[in-house]
Amino acid sequence: MSGGRRSGSWLRCCLVGFAIVSALCVCGPALYWKFKKGIRLGQLNSSCPPCNCDCPPPLSLRNFAAGLINLSVSDCGKDDPDLQKEMEKQLVDLLTEELKLREMVSEEQIRHMNITSGEARRVASQYQKEAEKCNAATETCEEARERAERLVVKERKVTSLWERRARQMGWEGE
């Protein structure tokens, strides 16, 4: 019993130690840099002069890819007749086309819903017919069971009567 407690407490100590080490590994570097930065800032203010840097300016897009700047949006798709036709349409035409597309989508959804609804009605009707068949079969079985019970009761009465007569005549039974 004490060996089990020792191994349980040893395991618990190992888990606690592992949790502490894990927490230090995760949080330690952040705390280290925070404290180091705080200490360094105090030192910079007292002993370091401001830095003069002669760094080159960062590369801009103009210097990196000069050919891209000359492109304009109006040049985009100028050789595509379908795209030009779309771009020339007025806002009202675009909205009308959008409404027509939405109407077509909604009509397709309604058609699909009607088909699905009709199929669901058909399947429900089929299940209803099957349920009615099962109910009729259950009623038939129940009537047959009740009839069999009545016959068993009658048979027991007849058997009891014949057994009494046999005992009266000297039969001793099994």
Q: Record the pTM.
A: 0.35
Give the separation between CA 113 and CA 124, rounded to whole angstroms. Answer: 16
How confident is the model at residue 79, as a pLDDT?
76
Phi (first) and psi of residue 153, to 5 degrees: -60, -45
* Residue linked to tokens 């088909």: 115
Region 33-40: mean pLDDT is 73
Tokens of 156: 């027991």
Tokens of 110: 């309604």
Q: Higher confidence at residue 52 or residue 92?
A: 92
Tokens of 120: 């669901």
Q: What angle do CA 137, 141, 146 make, to 5 degrees?
A: 150
- Per-residue pLDDT at 114 exceeds 60: yes
Region 30-59: mean pLDDT is 66
